[in-house]
């Protein structure tokens, strides 16, 4: 081969190679990941999702790409974010952070497969039934908003001498009315005075804190809600500053310094969602994949926080704990 021919051939290869790489990248399926939460408070559960995805052979940046959209607790943004991902023509749309995220995804598309992590999907109208979802959506069902009565009972056991219990509820959350009914019913049944403070944004959260302090609560129940998840550190800091025993819904709160958490294993739910996403990428249809009900519940206590508060757990309650953070 002549030197000029060699240079020409080499030059063609150098020019066409990047186009080949871009073509391979373009051929990768794209997962649209929609969350009502924020990336700052989603680390462990996102890792669980990626683990589930990897179990089916898909890895972000290798044979699949993930585009993220975060509402950061602002539910009004979910519909626009879901529409962005649909316009991006993602292969699968993953909706996490509660019913409103899943509903926004469902309203945005009737053709793109949806995998959700949410509360009761039948009541929300996302699927026809758990065993036979029908349509284009399936995923993980986490029983958390239905556990407010149980969490209130735990708070009652923890603080028998407290005269007034406070509850923090987001009125913009999809099932806020049901949460409120459950907490009020639990308070009436047990016979404990209850003060409900409502907040759906930072200004209202500050006002809720002020109300709870002004009325002199001695313990706090934080309602299950994605907005509160995005403000987790602020809420925990508030409880710590005013030495309030508090109960939360996810174990993330206890690991971040909250006193007690009781709720479903959210990491299991996200891992299952990752697994289902991979199976859909392989060609399975959401209508044929039964919704998975998370049956594992975590009761976690933080002993370091208890010591800082000067709080002692009743021995009978400690005997039921699943995990103790020292």
Report residue 36: phi and psi, to 5°: -75, -10
Same domain, 126 and 208: no
Quote the tokens at residue 13.
């290869």
Which pLDDT score, from 0 to 100, does residue 43 have? 87
CA dihedral 221, 234, 41, 121 (to 10 degrees): 30
Q: Quick: pLDDT tens for 232-255.
A: 999 999 999 999 999 999 999 999
Does residue 150 belong to any structural domain of this protein? yes
- The pTM (predicted TM-score) of the whole model is 0.85
Same domain, 46 and 24: yes
Same domain, 223 and 175: yes
Closest CA to 225 of 120, 114, 122, 75: 75
Name the residue range of residue 35's domain.
3-143+265-295
Same domain, 101 and 156: no
* Residues in the chain with pLDDT values less than 50: 1-25
Same domain, 126 and 19: yes
Same domain, 13 and 133: yes
- The SS3 call for residue 40 is helix
Same domain, 126 and 151: no
Which pLDDT score, from 0 to 100, does residue 314 have? 87
CA 118, chain centre distance (Å):
8
Same domain, 137 and 16: yes
Q: Quick: pLDDT tens for 36-54.
A: 999 988 888 999 999 999 9
Same domain, 10 and 66: yes
Which pLDDT score, from 0 to 100, does residue 4 have? 37
Does residue 301 belong to any structural domain of this protein? no
Does residue 88 belong to any structural domain of this protein? yes
Report the run of H or E that residue 76 belongs to, with start and end.
Answer: none
In this structure, the chain runs to a length of 326
Same domain, 238 and 149: yes
The total of other beta-carbon atoms located within 10 Å of residue 188's CB is 10
Same domain, 14 and 129: yes
């Amino acid at each position: 081969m002549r030197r000029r021919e060699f240079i020409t051939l080499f030059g063609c290869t150098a020019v066409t190679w990047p186009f080949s790489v871009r073509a391979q990248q373009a051929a990768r399926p794209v997962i649209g990941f929609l969350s009502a939460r924020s990336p700052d408070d989603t680390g462990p559960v996102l890792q669980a999702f990626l683990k589930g995805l990897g179990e089916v052979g898909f890895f972000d940046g290798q044979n699949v790409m993930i585009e993220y959209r975060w509402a950061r607790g602002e539910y009004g943004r979910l519909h626009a974010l879901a529409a962005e991902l649909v316009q991006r023509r993602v292969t699968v749309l993953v909706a996490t952070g509660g019913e409103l995220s899943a509903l926004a995804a469902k309203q945005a598309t009737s053709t793109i497969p949806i995998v959700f992590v949410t509360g009761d999907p039948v009541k929300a109208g996302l699927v026809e039934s758990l065993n036979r979802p029908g349509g284009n959506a399936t995923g993980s069902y986490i029983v958390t908003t239905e556990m407010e009565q149980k969490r209130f009972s735990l708070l009652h056991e923890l603080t028998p001498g407290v005269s007034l219990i406070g509850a923090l509820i987001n009125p913009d959350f999809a099932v806020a009315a049901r949460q409120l009914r459950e907490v009020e019913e639990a308070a009436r049944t047990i016979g404990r005075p209850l003060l409900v403070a409502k907040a759906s944004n930072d200004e209202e959260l500050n006002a809720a804190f002020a109300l709870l302090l002004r009325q002199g609560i001695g313990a706090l129940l934080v309602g299950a809600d994605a907005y509160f998840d995005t403000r987790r550190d602020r809420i925990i800091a508030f409880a710590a500053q005013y030495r309030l025993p508090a109960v939360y819904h996810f174990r993330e709160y206890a690991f971040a310094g909250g006193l007690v958490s009781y709720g479903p294993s959210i990491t299991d739910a996200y891992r299952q969602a990752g697994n289902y996403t991979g199976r859909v990428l392989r060609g399975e249809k959401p209508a044929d994949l039964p919704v998975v009900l998370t049956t594992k519940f975590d009761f976690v206590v933080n002993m370091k926080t208890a010591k800082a508060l000067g709080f002692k757990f009743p021995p009978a309650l400690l005997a039921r704990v699943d995990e103790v953070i020292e």
